[in-house]
Amino acid sequence: MTKKHTKEEVVENESVNVEEEAQTDLPQPEEEPEQNDNLADDKNSGSDIASQLNEQLQECQDRYIRLQADFDNFRKRTLKEKMELIDSAGAEVIKSVLTVMDDMDRAVAAMQTSDDINAMRQGIELISNKLQDVLKQRQVKEIPALGEEFNTDYHDAIAKVPVEDETKKGKIIDVIEKGYLLKDKVIRFSKVVVGE
């Protein structure tokens, strides 16, 4: 019987232990308000985080709008500056050509009253040289053409003429209109006649 009794005692002790464990696992009535407070704090902190995120979003959107406006202003300002630069550069070129035009007017007036052809020829040569100097100052230079190999980067073929000399085939034999470079960029192609 002692063994039985022992088993019964063990069973009773185990059931008592299980009940005690079950009671400790159950939430106590005093602890419930603390958990509710923690939930309320979590909700408050969640709304705080949401409001902080909204503020950051508003700041980012504001910054984006300001940057976009700044870029728009920059683009407009640089476009205006480019146009002013082009206008002023054009004005400078025209001023330099106007001095040559004044010389041409004087030459025309001199032709009306003078019969000296040599003097007129010299005057026109001086005006031509002055115009060439103005163009050189503006970094405009003539494209070499006559006798050169035909190059589509610089020349525009107006016509092809058969030639007997084999050395002239593919070369320029006549220039109809001179071509010009501005700082190594073609501003007008040479119009030429090519031998074939």
CATH code for residues 56-138: 3.90.20.20
**Residue of 12 and 132 predicted with greater confidence:** 132
Q: Which CATH entry fits the domain spanning 140-196: 1.20.120.1080, 2.30.22.10, 3.40.50.1970, 1.20.140.10?
A: 2.30.22.10
Q: What is the pTM of this model?
A: 0.54
Number of C-alpha atoms within 13 angstroms, CB side, residue 97?
8
Looking at the DSSP bridge assignments, the partners of residue 81 are: none
pLDDT at 23 over 90: no
pLDDT at 94 over 90: no
Domain boundaries, the chain: 56-138, 140-196
pLDDT of 9 reads 55
pLDDT at 2 over 50: no
First to last CA, the chain: 135
pLDDT at 151 over 60: yes
pLDDT digits (tens, 9 = 90+) for 178-191: 999 998 899 999 99
